[in-house]
Structure 1
Amino acid sequence: MKKHFIAGSLAAATAIVMTGCTPPGGGDSSGGKGAVLNIGWNEAFRSMNDMTMDGNAVANTIVAYMSNDNFKYYDDDLELHDGALGEVEKVSDDPLKVRYTFGEDANWSDGTPVDAADLALTWAARSQHFNTVDDNRDDDGTLKDNPDGTVFFDSSAVGAPLIDDFPEISEDGKSLTFTYSKPFADWETEFGLGAYGSGVPAHIVAKNALGTTDPQEGKAAILDAIESNDKNALSKISNFWNTGFDFTSMPENKDLLVHNGPYEITDFEEGQYLTLSRDEDYTGSVEPKVDTVTIRYNGDPMAMVQAIENGEVDLTQPQSTADVLSAAEKLEDVSILPGEDATFEHVDLTFDNNGPFDPASYGGDEDAALKVRQAFLKTLPRQEIIDRLIKPLNEEAEVRDSFNQAPDSPLYDDIVAESGISDYDEVDIDGAKKLLDEAGAQGPSVRFLYDNTNARRSQLFALIKESAEKAGFKVEDAGDVNWGTRLGDGTYDASLFGWALSTTAVTESDSYYRKGALNNYSGYDNKDLTKTLDEMLVTIDPDKQASLAGDVEQQLVDDAFGLPLFQHPSLTIHGDKVSNVSTTTLDPSMFWNFWEWETK
């Protein structure tokens, strides 16, 4: 289950001149045979493996999603559907066993069947069972190659670690059954969801990591290495799995283009555009109505609007600002779909850095630190933020009141009603002052981390600072263009950034709030909540899942962990010659139904 931290939809992208390099077929979006669709996107593709920590970005997911089939996908109502790759079924409750059966027509583009070896490699990489080190990065965060005999897969998951044993594989290799060591709530979406139903091609990993030449021998070598826990082979396999599928222009090694979906990458000009063409040899069931999709890259949202006007781009989803909306509304023969995208903004507080929210600053007094956290959260002007910055883009925008569920998810309303977050519906300066007095905290200083190159985040910080200082806080501007590398380093007391989710699974919350977990940058540790997370992992009953999800949210509110602010507004802009366009609040956003896009 993926989580992307978002620096701002466009802030980190490099601006690219739209007219600098015209891709093949650019501008010709006529219908029928040879139909072309030009899409504007903010950040360039860089890896076909979006399951790695480094490759886990929306810019990569959207390309992998169109290039590969899956077992499951979400629609724009967040309903889960069966994909084209095969079937997922639970075959036993005690122990939990889940079988993946690949369709007979599931093949890689080089003719090799998609099968159990591919999914077994994905499990091995994401389970962390085979890693011999916890990390393999330089001090600056750069991933290094594993030395001989050292294994480090740059990935993680929630459910995969609960599978201890090598899977059962059918004789023809078209079926694989995982046995979980304990029940797991989100077994249906742990593998096979979204961009990669099977994972990267195991035979290509074997060819490049182990030197095999025959695809079936390569698959066997991968399975043998996993089953025997061959550290020397797994060291080479993990090295290639981690970075071997990374490229920023058309690769010399055509192995990296092997795919199992309806589109193939046929052209890629670094930083300019990437072209996906219908693969005439594709054997699956997905039938796109557009033959060629070119994604053109530009980090400037106003340039995207200009490209729509010029006919260079037919469809785009730029960062939503009032200026962008105003410019788009002036265009003729253009449809604008305001809404919400997959990212939500939030403020988190730091618990373990001897700062104003850490009990250690009050001689270990948990209650005093809690009151200071509550006081700060009472000053957050959430409704003013919505009214001033978000409603001009989406007049139906509301404050987001859940840490873990999107506003249109089935659990959202019940969770919000019971969590106690309504205590923070309105700014309460007097209440904040009272709490600070009770805690004996006079003018606590809060170092506030955010991306100070992002205009909207700078405006958010200014509103938060102004409000908090009315209650007596001293808010220090710790804004930093490199904010992402500082997450969890203890040099700040509050942070502002966004998360993008790819699933509605209840176990999504595990990596945020468990001590030492991948996305727990706050140093938060609550043993009661950890017990709830443990129970959530193994709970299958939907009603009990919902109850536990509510318990998690209530505990976070009780502990004053932080506050969600809003779902990012989205503007999906397209020329009227494009139809069947919609978007979703999960990654891959407007690409979720690419096979339904049509051009006149």
Structure 2
Amino acid sequence: MKYTKLSAAAALAAGSALFLSACAPAGPADENGDGNGSGENGGGQEVFTGENGEKYTVEPSDSGKADLGEVEPKDGSVAYSVGEDEFSSYNGVQSNTYSTYNSAVVDRLFSGFFYFGTDGEIIRDETFGTYEKVSDEPLQVKYTIADDAKWSDGTDVTALDFQLQWAADNGNIKNEDDGQLFDSVSSSMGDYVDDMPEGDPAGKEFTVTYNEPYADWEIMVSTALPAHVVAREAGMSTEDLAKAIEEKDAKALKPAAEFWNDGWDFKPGELPEDEDLIPSMGPYKLKQGGWTAGQFITLEVNEDYWGEKPATKELVIRFAAADTHVQALQNKELDVIEPQATVDTLQQLEGLGDQVVVQTGDQLTWEHLDFNRGEGSVFADSAELREAFALCVPRQQIVDNLIKPINEDAEVMNLREVFPFQENYDEVVEAAYPKEMDEPNIDKAKELVEKSGESKPKVRIGYNSPNPRRTEIVSMIKSSCDEAGFEIVDAGNANFFTEVLPAGDFDVALFAWAGSGQKASGRNIYHSTGAQNDMQYSNPDVDAAWDKLAGSLDEKVQLEQVKEIEKLLWEDYQAIPLFAHPGILGQAADLANVRDTATQSGALWNVEQWVRVQ
């Protein structure tokens, strides 16, 4: 599982959990009918074929969702699996439920003001509503929810839903223990927006006023949980809830927070009988009786959804171990899979022949090595050892051996905030990257180890295991860095993220950060006060650069600060980038409109458009 970089909008990402598209449709078929083009399926509907053999009922024209027009949901189901972890909560944005496993389900139940296109572009969803920046000083954004936007229980989606979300994502509204009252994965709204979004709680409009400019303002507000349900279950009127939110009255909000924190958490296989407790404002809703613990959960068409209806009536999310997915695809138990991209997996999928279509491409997820700067780590106070380790890591060999066989265009990634396939990458590399890092320098690394005064320093490389690719990466690093005087130890652990990382019981962490269209999400990782600064890294100059970037609406200023941040991080040898993750998507050949994406949303980003064709 990848760690997700939490932007300020993280807790509103009930539409974003945990790729550039490699499936752009090609032109018409040649005279012999070979190659890419279009044809008709048995039902008389025209079907277009992409360059990998994938099918479309409507050719995509950009990175956003294709306009399928009027859709009549087709009988049957489509099946997908993230992994074997069980669905656990309708509220997927609590600190203990924000995961790719939960998001796979709950993201289908919600709509929002935007979504990410296949290349990470922010695409406004005007079916849900509109927004506009109405002022720069102060930064103000006005949101208008669509008139026909309703929850499946018939209640209007209103400003109160978003006002409650502001309170939930507000670290300044405290409980008795001085912790955040609502157990949200994010506290950013309270940091950047002092006051409740202004607007009639029962109305369709609200305005967010920022304390200061914020680079990622466009993705701060996306979707929200149903405030009317929270009010009802807390024994409050919606008017009383709105008043408590506006006054930031923690005591009055306590019953609402108690329900928000726990009331939507379910035991495996047990959905509440009262459907009004779990209303949908998305294309699908949870199907009563459709959850079999340990096996699958079924979603069905939300007949009350005002937007484009799903192309297929049911979506089945299976709880299946990752190492079973290829076989499950072959057995038609799954229709779409996204296994870890390894040479073996690609060969297995290709071995299934015409039964499946394989899409590959880059992801907005990057692999890296992070130094633990905390007490007890060999790298805590030694600049010499950090540089020596960076100089002996065989980054090009890792890419050549493990990534290029999957994506022949793959290259070593030399930045943290810009990907090789994104605009400005070369410009930032030129300004910030030390070219001597292109190849290992074992001799110089040896000198630095000797200079450090440490004799054969032991380096524990921690990662979440089992993970064959990361095991191979550590093996390559050991072969190279042991020659430089280190003793590399494979410290892979099944509980790395839950136990080892929090305890700081490692020297280097090997994992991935996943993102989408954020500009300032890295601040959460590299700033001294960042909530995801697990490495205890601190550099006042880096802090200042992040603050300037996050506080500017000027793209030129943002770019210059990215250059400064990257330069400083290289000087500190903090977070050594390795590569952008290659993505592999395997799908049933008779399923249309499946589109690979570079973003953390995964293949399900447009699942409501998946449909079988002949």
TM-score by length of 1: 0.85
For residues 474-525 of structure 1, the C-alpha deviation after alignment (integer angstroms, 9 at most, x for no partner) is: 2233322111122242322111112222x32211111101124211011101
* CA separation of 1:415 and 1:444: change in aligned 2, threshold 3 A: same
Quickly say closer, same or farther: Cα 1:407–1:173, change in 2 above 3 A: farther
Does residue 234 (structure 1) correspond to residue 253 (structure 2)? The answer is: yes
Which string of whole-angstrom CA distances, capped at 9 and with x for unpartnered residues, describes residues 361-406 of structure 1? xxxxxxxx22221111111111111222222333332222221234
Aligned counterpart, 1:176: 206
**Offset of residue 411 of structure 1:** 4.0
From 372, 378, 388, the counterpart of 1:350: 372
1:526 aligns with 2:539: yes
1:379 counterpart = 2:389:
no
| Residue 322 of structure 1, CA deviation | 2.6
Q: Are 2:137 and 1:94 aligned?
A: yes
The answer to whether structure 1 residue 211 and structure 2 residue 263 are counterparts is: no
* Match in the other structure for 2:505: 491
C-alpha separation between the residues in 1 aligned to 2:470 and 2:384?
26
Q: Which structure 2 residue ranges, 5 or more long, are not aligned?
A: 8-17, 19-71
Contact 2:372 2:506 in 1 (8 A): yes
CA distance in 1, matches of 2:325, 2:178: 39
Aligned residues of 1:353 and 1:491 also touching (Cα < 8 A): no
Task: List per-residue Cα deviations over 1:102-141 (Å, max 9, x = no partner).
Answer: 11011111111111111111111212110247886xxxxx
Counterpart in the other structure of 1:108: 151
Q: Secondary structure at the match of 2:215?
A: coil
1:40 counterpart residue number:
81
The SS at the match of 2:567 is helix
1:246 pairs with 2:265: yes
Residue 305 of structure 1: aligned partner: 326
Matches for 1:319-338 after TM superposition, within 5 Å: 319-331=340-352, 332-338=354-360
Question: Within 5 Å, which residues of 2 pair with 1:175-574?
Answer: 175-192=205-222, 197=223, 199-208=224-233, 210-212=234-236, 217=237, 219-247=238-266, 248-252=268-272, 253-266=274-287, 267-283=290-306, 285-301=307-323, 303-331=324-352, 332-359=354-381, 369-485=382-498, 486-501=500-515, 503-574=516-587
288-297 or 85-94, larger mean C-alpha shift: 288-297
| Structure 1: stretches of 5+ with no match in the other structure | 10-30, 137-149, 360-368
Match in the other structure for 1:153:
183
Looking at structure 2, the residues matched to 125 and 2 of structure 1 have their Cα atoms a distance apart, in angstroms, of: 20
Give me the whole-angstrom Cα distance separating, in 2, the residues matched to 1:473 and 1:388. Answer: 23
Q: 1:176 to 1:411 in 2, by over 3 A?
A: farther
Structure 1, 57-66 or 545-554: larger mean CA deviation: 57-66
**Contact 1:159 / 1:187 at 8 angstroms: preserved in 2?**
no
RMSD of equivalent CA atoms: 2.5
1:410–1:577 distance in 2 versus 1, CA, 3 Å: same
1:21 aligns with none
Can you list the C-alpha shifts for 1:285-341, whole angstroms capped at 9, x where unaligned? 23322222212221133x222222222222221223333222211213311112234
Please list the CA deviations of residues 551-589 of structure 1 after superposition, one character each: whole Å capped at 9, or x if unmatched. Answer: 111111111112122223322111211122222221211
How far 1:354 sits from its partner (Å)? 4.3
Letter in 1 for 2:98: N
Q: Aligned letter for 1:307? A: A
Aligned residue identity for 2:517: T
- Could you tell which deviates more after superposition, 571-580 or 447-456? 447-456
Question: Contact 1:42/1:318 (CA < 8 Å) preserved in 2?
Answer: no
Give the Cα–Cα distance (whole angstroms) in 2 for the partners of residues 309 and 436 of structure 1: 51
Q: Answer whether contact 2:182 2:257 (CA < 8 A) is retained.
A: yes
Identity of aligned residues (%): 34
- State the 1:175 CA deviation: 1.0
Tell me, in whole angstroms, the C-alpha distance in 2 between the residues paired with 1:123 and 1:398.
Answer: 41
> Distance between the aligned counterparts of 2:178 and 2:476, measured in 1?
38
Contact 1:205–1:237 (Cα < 8 Å) also in 2: yes
Letter in 1 for 2:119: D
Residues 1:171 and 1:348: Cα distance change in structure 2 (over 3 Å): closer
In 1: Cα distance, 2:217 partner to 2:350 partner: 44
Q: Please state whether the residue corresponding to 2:538 is helix, strand or coil.
A: coil
- Secondary structure of the 1:487 match is helix
- Tell me, in whole angstroms, the C-alpha distance in 1 between the residues paired with 2:584 and 2:449: 41
- Once residues 490 and 316 of structure 1 are traced to their aligned partners in structure 2, the CA distance between those partners, rounded to angstroms, is 34
For residues 430 and 309 of structure 2, the distance between their equivalents in structure 1, rounded to whole angstroms, comes to 43
